[in-house]
């Protein structure tokens, strides 16, 4: 059995310093922000958290930058637009990767950890993979020729009242809706739905995957539990949608987010394990294999 990478021993015993499942349940995409700047102490806590992040499950470490728009002049600000999707945010986190296998998943994994940490601090965030001016943000990131900038997120206090446009976007993306268990999780062979009872003691772990954010809320994650009780993660890719932006495949970022929710809640609930590449993972028609959880 080949490990994707050797995890440092402490990773799966060390828990987050916040309640992960709670944060997963609480997080929503926030698109309207208060004009109050993020308190210095919170900002520093987030910066320290980012600095101490470990590699993603495929062994790469994305590069993150916190960008404060406050000191910028009007012209520069205009260049760094989000096409009106985000209102009032003055702080952003930018995530870049080298274009190597598994790096998109690692970006999803590590950036979602930051987003959950921010949520636990009472801050709003919103994954942005499409509706931002990538070239202008890339310049602020000093993006290398071999790097990609798959996503950014605003960070700030949610505005007291969401704007009507905010609600419209949420409605269009059917943000509150998630697919039922029966469409996401399956028993051996990938044909029969896995019941919530059959998932025990991994019930909350799978629920955490189901509640995750995904690009356009397409929810492309699928999980198969085999006869031996092992969980295998697959991507139900929409090839046209996922390949619209060339090398930046947002549905692979979605898979990293799912891996983050799975591993973090497993750890929180004292379920040992790590993500590995399993040579004998089941083949399921129509689904792309991503990784297996080895307990």
Ligand X SMILES: Cc1cc2nc3c(=O)[nH]c(=O)nc-3n(C[C@H](O)[C@H](O)[C@H](O)COP(=O)(O)O)c2cc1C
Which parts of this chain interact with ligand X (CB under 6 A)?
28-29, 85, 126-131, 151, 169, 173, 175, 213-217, 250, 253-254, 257
CB 67 to ligand X: min, Å = 17
Which pair of structure tokens corresponds to residue 176? Answer: 């509150």
Whether the CB-CB separation of 94 and 65 falls below 8 Å is answered with: yes
Kindly tell me which of 121 and 276 has the beta carbon lying closer to ligand X: 121
CB 163 to ligand X: min, Å = 13
Which pair of structure tokens corresponds to residue 57? Answer: 């499950």
CB 248 to ligand X: min, Å = 9
Kindly tell me which of 12 and 218 has the beta carbon lying closer to ligand X: 218
- Taking only Cα atoms into account, the Rg of the chain, rounded to an integer number of angstroms, comes to 19
Kindly tell me which of 12 and 170 has the beta carbon lying closer to ligand X: 170
Give the Cα separation of 223 and 187 in Å (integer): 9
Kindly tell me which of 107 and 281 has the beta carbon lying closer to ligand X: 107
CB 152 to ligand X: min, Å = 9
Kindly tell me which of 28 and 69 has the beta carbon lying closer to ligand X: 28
CB 230 to ligand X: min, Å = 26
What are residue 96's DSSP bridge partners? 63
Write a three-state SS string for 19-44: CHHHHHHHCCECCEECCCCCCHHHHH
List Cβ neighbours of 273 (8 Å cut-off, separation of 6 or more): 12, 263, 266, 293, 294, 295
């Amino acid at each position: 059995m080949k490990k994707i990478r050797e995890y440092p021993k402490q990773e799966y015993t060390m828990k987050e310093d916040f309640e992960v499942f709670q944060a997963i349940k609480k997080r929503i995409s926030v698109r309207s922000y208060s004009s109050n700047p993020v308190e210095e102490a919170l900002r520093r806590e987030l910066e320290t958290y980012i600095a101490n992040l470990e590699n993603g499950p495929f062994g790469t470490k994305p590069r993150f930058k916190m960008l404060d728009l406050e000191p910028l002049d009007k012209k520069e600000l205009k260049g760094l637009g989000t096409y009106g999707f985000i209102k009032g945010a003055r702080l952003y986190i930018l995530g870049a990767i080298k274009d190597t296998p598994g790096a998109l998943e690692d970006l999803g994994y590590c950036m979602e950890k930051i987003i959950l940490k921010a949520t636990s601090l009472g801050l709003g965030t919103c994954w942005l993979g499409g509706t931002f001016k990538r070239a202008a943000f890339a310049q602020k990131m000093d993006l290398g020729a071999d790097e990609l900038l798959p996503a950014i997120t605003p960070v700030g206090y949610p505005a007291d009242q969401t704007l009507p446009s905010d609600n419209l976007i949420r409605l269009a993306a059917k943000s509150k809706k998630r697919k039922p268990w029966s469409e996401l999780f399956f028993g051996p062979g990938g044909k029969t739905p896995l019941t919530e009872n059959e998932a025990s003691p991994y019930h909350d772990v799978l629920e955490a995957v189901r509640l995750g954010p995904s690009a356009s809320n397409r929810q492309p994650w699928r999980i198969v539990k085999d006869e031996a009780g092992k969980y295998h993660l697959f991507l139900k890719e929409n090839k046209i949608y996922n390949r619209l932006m060339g090398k930046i495949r947002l549905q692979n970022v979605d898979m990293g987010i799912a891996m983050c929710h799975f591993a973090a809640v497993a750890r929180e609930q004292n379920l040992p394990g790590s993500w590995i590449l399993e040579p004998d993972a089941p083949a399921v028609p129509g689904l792309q294999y991503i990784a297996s959880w080895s307990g």
